[in-house]
Amino acid sequence: MKILDRYIIRNFLVTFVFTILALTVISVVIDSSEKADDFVKSGLTSSEIITKYYIGFVPFIISMIFPLMVFIAVIYFTSKLAGRSEIVAILANGVRYRRFLRPYFAGSIMLGALLLYCNMYVFPRGNGIRSDFQLRYIDNNSSYYASQGGANTFYLKSDTNTYIAIRYYDTTTKMSGGFFLQKLRGNKVFYNLRGESLKWDTAKHIWKVQNAIEREINGLKETVKEVPLMDLKLSITPKDLRRDEYLKDKLTTPELKEFIHAEEMRGTEGLNTYKVEYYRRFATPVSVIILTLLGAVVASRKTRGGRGLHLAFGIVAAAVFVIMDRFSIVFSSKGNLHPMLAAWIPNLIFTVVTFGVYRKAPK
């Protein structure tokens, strides 16, 4: 590694660490002021709030701003080098422009690898701590959350030929307001079961169906039987019927992949949100590399506006990146956009922009 490489990488990493720490501290201050009433109502001490909430909140904030802070840090220190004519001196001494960008690329790969590992294992654990606190002390005390009542309706696939509908399931009482099950042989129904309610027996770990009506169909013959209380074994347990809005953030990448596969086997719909999150964990480390190169190319040009103009461009570009990312996720979750494409669209567009800016950069 040459002196030039060490110099640029050191400035890159120091500026990035300072930037992300400053933004994290500001985020913690703003969040603590907004949640002051909730903290008081929780009855927890300051140390408990730190260990049960902020130790998970800090990784959550870092995961959100990591690529953008890399971008801002690169623009800031590179425009500083350009303002002092250091880049002009480097290029005037025979260093090719592509060679000048090499330490930026190396630094972005290091930060991208760090982000990839944190996305897979570190950030989900932190999100688990934060979301548990959020559910217990904030969401449960919210009038909006209480109005939802915890009641849900599920349409699931228990095995290859068994389909289940559970209406108005309450996660607190582990009881549903209605139940329906049918088994298929080929494309024909040969068994049908309906019940007024379905309740989980915590002692025997089985389901109990109340006022069940069983129908067995054999060609033109149909046998109907009424059972006041029936024991039923299913591959589904109450934890599978728990809709956790924070679940995608709490699972590590291997766990998230396994969860998506299991839910697909059950025929669960609405998995695009989880799939986008899975692909996004691999896309954001690549965005670190793309944004680093874009920031280096833009800020290396000396302009009259200096760092102010470069930072303004960085803030606008970061806002565009975030908007594109949010829109693509919404189009995938609520529409028909493929989850992988939704996660990678911002990277693809900014790759084209970076290549165009690089070609026009004075070398």
Q: Please check whether residues 67 and 187 belong to one and the same domain.
A: no
Structure tokens given for 172: 């607190």
Domain extent, residue 200, equals 172-241
Report pLDDT for 150: 46
State pLDDT tens for residues 1-20: 688 899 999 999 999 999 99
Is the pLDDT at 198 greater than 70, yes or no?
yes
Whether residue 178 is found in the same domain as residue 277: no
What's the average model confidence in pLDDT over 314-341? 85
Show which of 202, 226, 241 is a domain's final residue: 241
- State the pLDDT confidence band at 351, using cuts at 50, 70 and 90: very high
Strand partners, 155: 165
On whether both 51 and 134 belong to a single domain, the answer is yes
Q: What is the pLDDT of residue 301?
A: 82
Residues 352 and 277 in one domain: yes
Least confident of 155-164, 234-243, 326-335: 234-243
* Per-residue three-class SS string for the chain: CCHHHHHHHHHHHHHHHHHHHHHHHHHHHHHHHHCHHHHHHHCCCHHHHHHHHHHHHHHHHHHHHHHHHHHHHHHHHHHHHHHCCHHHHHHHCCCCHHHHHHHHHHHHHHHHHHHHHHHHHHHHHHHHHHHHHHHHHHHHHCHHHHHHCCEEEEEEEEECCEEEEEEEEECCCCEECEEEEEEEECCEEEEEEEECEEEEECCCCEEEEEEEEEEEEECCEEEEEEEEEEEECCCCCHHHHCCCCCHHHHCCHHHHHHHHHHHHHHCCCCCHHHHHHHHHHHHHHHHHHHHHHHHHHHHCCCCCCHHHHHHHHHHHHHHHHHHHHHHHHHHHHHCCCCHHHHHHHHHHHHHHHHHHHHHHCCC
My answer on whether 201 and 319 are in the same domain is no
* pLDDT above 80 (res 185): yes
Does any domain span residue 165?
no
User: Does the pLDDT of residue 147 top 60, yes or no?
Assistant: no
- Is pLDDT at 360 greater than 50 in this prediction? yes
Same structural domain for residues 104 and 20?
Answer: yes
| 51-55, 98-102, 154-158, 292-296: segment of lowest average pLDDT | 154-158
pLDDT tens per residue, range 16-32: 999 999 999 999 999 99
132 with 275, same domain: the answer is yes
Query: What is the b/e burial string over 227-258, where b = at least 16 CB atoms within 10 angstroms of the residue's CB?
Result: eeebebebebeeeebeeeeebbbbbbbeebee
Within a domain: residue 135?
A: yes
pTM of the model: 0.79
Same domain (yes/no): 137, 176: no
Average pLDDT over residues 136-150: 58
| Domain annotation covers residue 35 | yes
With cut-offs at 50, 70 and 90, classify the pLDDT of residue 152: low
Indicate the residue among 223, 241, 259 that finishes a domain. 241
CATH of the domain at 186: 2.30.30
78 pLDDT higher than 80: yes
Q: What is the pLDDT of residue 145?
A: 47
Q: What is the pLDDT of residue 146?
A: 45
Q: Which of 73-87, 122-136, 171-185, 275-289 has the lowest mean pLDDT?
A: 171-185
Q: Which of 241, 262, 282 is the last residue of a domain?
A: 241
Supply the pLDDT for residue 177: 82
Tell me if 355 is assigned to some domain. yes
pLDDT tier for residue 144 given thresholds of 50, 70 and 90? very low
Higher pLDDT, 206 or 148: 206
Residue 277 within a domain: yes
- pLDDT band of 242, cuts 50, 70, 90: low
Count structural domains, the chain. 2
- State pLDDT tens for residues 254-296: 999 998 988 887 777 778 889 999 999 999 999 999 999 999 9
Per-residue model confidence (pLDDT) at position 59: 95
Mean pLDDT check: name the lowest of 57-66, 247-256, 298-307. Answer: 298-307
Question: Is 103 contained in some domain?
Answer: yes
Q: What is the mean pLDDT of the chain?
A: 87
Question: What is the rounded radius of gyration, in angstroms, for the C-alpha atoms of the chain?
Answer: 27
For residue 149, the model assigns a pLDDT of: 45
Which two structure tokens, joined as six digits, stand for 206?
């089985």
